[in-house]
Amino acid sequence: MKVSRAAFGRLPDGSDVTTFTIDNGNGYRLRCMDYGATLIGFRAPDREGRADELTLCYDDFDRYLAGHPFFGSTVGRVANRIGGAKFELKGRTFELEPSEGGNLLHSGANGFHARLWQAEAFERGAHAGVLFSLVSPDGDQGFPGRLDVSVSISLTMDNELLFEYHAESDTPTPVNLTNHAYWNLAGAADRRRHAGEAVPAVEAGGAIGGHELTMFGREYLELDADSIPTGRILKVAGSPYDFTAPKPIRQDIAAADGYDLCYVLDPGQAEDGQPLRRAAMVREPSTGRTMEVVTTSPAVQFYTGNKLPVQTDGYDEPFRRYDAFCLETQYHPDAVNHANFPSIILNPGETFRHRTVHRFAVE
């Protein structure tokens, strides 16, 4: 395993931003940076041995600093949405700053995705990566308690991409961490850069329409008009949201008006002492690439880049709707306001732990 680091940019306060690159020698390469504990690249070979970039990412730091739709970011303290941008805990109401209408999405503009994390690279035999750490003080983002959090992003010789999260708090506080990578197993960034190449129409599911997806969840969270869970958990059977058997993403994407939905995962089997659940299996027929996602979390948000911009000022080749998909392993969105959802409250003396593994292969 080979780990290298390089300067990537500078924050307005003069702080340097650093990238880390991990190469496992099998054609797989991971890149991440300390700003936002962000995955900024993942290259993998296809059945012909050609390596492509599989995530939506930018080539220079200024684009990240100007604002972006959470490309590869670590999201927290609370990922996904909080209805009304408020919640009650221990008899106290906590008011948060809305970031999507009257609701809070991904903890707002000053979330963990917009922080400079401490970073330490590591190599442990057949496993190498970066450990990012951050202290979120009491009152940060409107949440109670000091939160000490760490995120490890790493690559193995078995072609596995690992995300491991830990957090501790001195006061009861909600915690729900995830990574927000946008995937296209056909080759996300390389496809975008080839001027003149045909881009599949949105009506055909865009650039990800041909990906075959299986979701290991037979239930999903019903949403209201603002994409806030109503509290009802529904069956996917008979709906456009049913991926219990493999099917192309394009098949029902028009009926679903794009996907942005939280699936409740089926119970899993214990692995390495942790209750890992299968979340999803993705196959891309033209390249032969596959990606299996397993996780300790109880749910996964499937998002098809519905709000990606059609135009991006100053950039020759903007990302488009349905150029990529996200599989955000997490706890249920708006869990702080639904007693029937698994609790995301972290108490003093407890440790928040969450592990997600992406397993890559070629068929």
The helix (run of H) or strand (run of E) holding residue 166 is: strand 160-169
* pLDDT at position 195: 40
Within its chain, how far is the Cα of 319 from the centroid? Answer: 17
What are the pLDDT digits (tens) for 324-362? 999 999 999 999 999 999 999 999 999 999 999 999 999
* pLDDT at position 192: 43
The pTM assigned to this predicted structure is 0.94
275 — pLDDT class (breaks 50, 70, 90): confident
* pLDDT at position 359: 98
Contact 330, 297 (CB under 8 A): yes
What are the pLDDT digits (tens) for 200-214? 667 667 899 999 999
Q: Which of 15-24, 169-178, 182-191 has the lowest mean pLDDT?
A: 182-191
d(CA 192, CA 190): 5
Catalytic residue positions?
180, 328
Percentage of the residues of the chain whose pLDDT score is greater than 90: 83
* pLDDT at position 269: 62
As beta bridge partners, residue 42 has 30
* pLDDT at position 1: 85
User: How many domains does the chain fold into?
Assistant: 1
d(CA 307, CA 201): 15
13 — pLDDT class (breaks 50, 70, 90): very high
Contact 294, 268 (CB under 8 A): yes
Residue 184: name the closest of 157, 213, 207 by CA.
207
The single-letter DSSP state of residue 76 is -
Q: Quick check: 191 pLDDT over 70?
A: no
Residue 228: name the closest of 16, 49, 50, 83 by CA.
83
273 — pLDDT class (breaks 50, 70, 90): low
d(CA 108, CA 94): 15
Q: Which CATH number belongs to the domain containing residue 338 in this structure?
A: 2.70.98.10
* pLDDT at position 135: 98
d(CA 211, CA 242): 15
In terms of residue numbers, what domain contains 196?
2-362
Do the strands 127-136 and 86-89 form a parallel or antiparallel pair, or are they unpaired?
A: unpaired
Q: Quick check: 169 pLDDT over 90?
A: yes
Q: Quick check: 225 pLDDT over 50?
A: yes
